[in-house]
């Protein structure tokens, strides 16, 4: 598979979003920001507790989130429901390839996850929570993404 078709494969949905749906997405985003805060998964302390295996909490959260999402996906696939935007619901499968990009990229992400104590969603929610220095981490993450784009043709995938 070529690099280009891999990119297309990754793009989630190409239909233009109508304003009414953008409003829905903004509400869902607000809800998610509240959830990240109330669940405390945006906390560096919780991430440390998780990587030190000193509490069940984060594993309970991630595990039950996956279970809930998996059950929902099964139910949606069994039904003939279309999305509110009128599309047939389908989740594009990721291509495995050699698996190198997932193993290497994933490990690099994990290093950053433990150092910042935050993954991309929490980075933004932390800025909202008043940890304004995390705006610097957001800019660094953008730089990291750009540098990946620059190096992409030379990296194993």
Partner 1 sequence: MSTWLTAPWPWYLAGPIIGLFVPALLLAGNKVFGISSNLRHLCSFLLPGRLEYLRYDWKNVGLWNLVFLFGVLIGGVLAAHSGAPHNIAISSTTKAALTQLGLHDLSGVAPHEIFSWQALLTWRGFVSVVLGGFLVGFGAAYAGGCTSGHAISGLANFELPSLIAVLGFFAGGLAATYFILPHLL
Residues 48-87 contacting partner 1, CB under 8 A: 48-52, 54-58, 60-70, 72-73, 75-76, 81, 83-85, 87
From candidates 33, 78, 80, 154, binder to partner 1 by CB under 8 A: 33
**Residue 5 engages partner 1 in binding (rule: CB under 8 A):** no
Supply the minimum distance, in Å, between the C-beta of residue 141 and partner 1.
3
Helices (H), 87-154: 100-116, 120-128, 134-151
Minimum CB–partner distance for residue 93 and partner 1 (Å): 6
Binding footprint of partner 1, residue count (CB under 8 A): 128
Site string for partner 1, 7-26 (x = CB under 8 A): x--xxxxxxxx---xx-xxx
Q: What CA–CA distance (Å, rounded) separates 127 from 129?
A: 5
Other beta carbons less than 10 A from residue 43's beta carbon:
19
* Calpha distance 42→47 (Å, rounded): 8
**CA 41 to chain CA mean position, Å:** 13
């Amino acid at each position: 598979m070529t690099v280009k078709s891999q990119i297309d494969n990754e793009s989630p949905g190409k239909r233009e979003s109508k304003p009414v749906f953008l409003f829905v997405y903004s509400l869902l985003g607000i809800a998610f920001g509240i959830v990240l805060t109330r669940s405390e998964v945006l906390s560096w302390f919780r991430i440390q507790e998780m990587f030190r295996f000193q509490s069940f909490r984060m594993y309970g959260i991630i595990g039950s989130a996956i279970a809930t999402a998996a059950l929902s996906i099964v139910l949606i696939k069994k039904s003939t429901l279309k999305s509110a935007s009128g599309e047939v619901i389908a989740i594009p499968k990721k291509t495995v390839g050699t698996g190198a990009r997932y193993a290497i990229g994933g490990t690099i992400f994990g290093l950053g996850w433990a150092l910042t104590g935050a993954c991309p969603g929490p980075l933004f929610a932390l800025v909202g929570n008043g940890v304004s220095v995390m705006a610097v981490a957001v800019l660094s993450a953008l730089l990291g993404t750009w540098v990946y784009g620059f190096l992409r043709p030379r990296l194993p995938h």
